[in-house]
A and B are shown apart, each in its own frame.
Chain A
């Protein structure tokens, strides 16, 4: 039986700032996960990751992270990925203040 593919997003850290970024359908790196391209096909996801990994002067450490479709776009399914969309819990730094 074919195993079902959990939807993914391509994510990485921006080279200069070091913050979390997500690959959009139009090939931008967005600091906002909701703008990411939600990848529902495994072969396409692998291809998008390869393309992302080639962009060495923009990002570091690209990988595929589990995601789900939400009202405003892709959302994280694991707490680690959720923290990456937000920032640390001990201070109001990072995306929780930068994006609002």
Chain B
């Protein structure tokens, strides 16, 4: 893992000291809220419905055991003993007091963490494939590039006041687990015809009010051109992006309004003029960073115990069937720890659970943890021989739910239970759907299904790319839930289509149940996923299931 150098350390410490002064001046009234707001946002501090909220960056979702323990400590000391893992691989604390926030930031700095640029119109936390460095299908670990981008974008003087926020995601695998086509810049590590490794650069993707699938700006970018090329993109956007209308300010609109060709021309021009100013220091830095991401010292052990445990314990077998992913190293597996126990809040972990996960990473996982954008926690490097012990420890901590990728593994934003921007609640809907399908005991029969819920049009819950998306709205003073179908956040990204009129809070869970059981009747066999069935049959049969004819007759 990357370790802070003296520059990183002093930069983060000085930002905490600055913010401490700003908080003092806000509390004594010498700064108004209007003056203070941009300063607190630069440091990840929001004011929400019931309290302040601190969003802490977890760069490319990677953290070590010590950092996870510190997140637990912060939750206990200054919050209510839990944290919420987000769809951008960050963690949010929902109950900090204003006067405590500088101390929280100091505690983060103690473990090389911060909340800088987790808000505001800047380049946000760079996200990456949560299986980076471990996945069997990976060309190269994307995290050294993500770290290089983090260092370049942090406090970049030209990019502190962009037209709007700017999000970058990187993946090194063909299977896209980082939703790169729904980011302002998506970077996919590829190998070209001559075997050279570089990036496919995707631009102008995004969800929110105007969802768009990113477009390929450059088919193949040599690795050493990464920073100047990204700088060219962001500086073109910085000038061309609209500042007159916040809803048209993201780069997806800039690309849409100007056309991909014009953006390509401008970016290539800008790239030519700044390429020479990158004299090679970035490449020296990259090689230092890459060394920090060297693979762990893998162990050689027998997996006989693992196979025997699978045979002996059906619950363990079920968990290994759903929560493990192939590792590039023989004998190893990637463990996804579900933070989606049926009926619980998606992405919320207690401080005790954080400590258990930290201990497991230390004892069995080469001291590494990841946060996935699907709001789960990953142990990326685990020897199969250790899986039975890990499973027992997870069970004891209520963390052994075997539901990764299934109907109850729901992404949900905080919604109107916390968020000041929300138009409806999302957490209770997620809880009820998961509880209902657990009662029906059919989620393993249903198979792969991604439900994603947002509590407003800004789409933090990624509903547009859910196989089933749910969007909570305020319709004449009542919570109302709109369903979209056929969304996909992988390498075959597509934006879900609206199924029809929305459902009330009481109707939405039965509607989802109808939809899912209806799909089971429509699929060719158990191997055809919900998304495949939707792509084969289109919207019509699902519409018929969602809006039965007699209801239409009654409504008419």
A interface list, Cβ under 8 A from B: 13, 15-20, 56-57, 60-61, 77-80, 83-84, 87-91, 93-95
Q: Are A84 and B49 in contact (CB under 8 A)?
A: yes
Q: Are B47 and A60 in contact (CB under 8 A)?
A: yes
A61: chain B residues at CB < 8 Å are 33, 47
Interface SS, A side: loop
Q: Are A88 and B417 in contact (CB under 8 A)?
A: yes
Q: Are B50 and A87 in contact (CB under 8 A)?
A: yes
- The reply to whether the CB of B27 lies closer than 8 angstroms to some CB of chain A is yes
The 9 listed contacts between A and B (C-beta, < 8 Å) are: A17-B98, A18-B48, A18-B97, A56-B32, A61-B47, A79-B479, A80-B416, A89-B417, A89-B428
B96: chain A residues at CB < 8 Å are 18
Q: Are A16 and B27 in contact (CB under 8 A)?
A: yes
B48: chain A residues at CB < 8 Å are 18
Give CA–CA (A17, B425) in the complex, Å. Answer: 23
B501: chain A residues at CB < 8 Å are none
- The reply to whether the CB of B146 lies closer than 8 angstroms to some CB of chain A is no
Least distance between A45 CB and chain B CB atoms (Å): 20
Give the contact-size bracket for chain B.
Answer: 20 to 34
Q: Are A15 and B27 in contact (CB under 8 A)?
A: yes
Q: Are A19 and B431 in contact (CB under 8 A)?
A: no
Least distance between B35 CB and chain A CB atoms (Å): 9
Residue among A18, A57, A78, A83 making CB contact with B417, cutoff 8 Å: A83
Least distance between A37 CB and chain B CB atoms (Å): 22
Q: Are A18 and B345 in contact (CB under 8 A)?
A: no
- The reply to whether the CB of B156 lies closer than 8 angstroms to some CB of chain A is no
Residue among A78, A84, A95 making CB contact with B477, cutoff 8 Å: A78
B47: chain A residues at CB < 8 Å are 13, 18, 60-61
Q: Are A83 and B49 in contact (CB under 8 A)?
A: yes
Q: Are A18 and B28 in contact (CB under 8 A)?
A: no
Interface contacts beyond A18-B97, A56-B32: sample of 7 additional A-B pairs, CB < 8 Å, sorted by A: A16-B99, A61-B33, A61-B47, A79-B416, A80-B416, A90-B417, A94-B51
Q: Are B417 and A16 in contact (CB under 8 A)?
A: no
- The reply to whether the CB of B242 lies closer than 8 angstroms to some CB of chain A is no
Q: Mark interface residues in B453-482 (1 if CB within 8 Å of A CB, else 0).
A: 000000000000000000000100111000
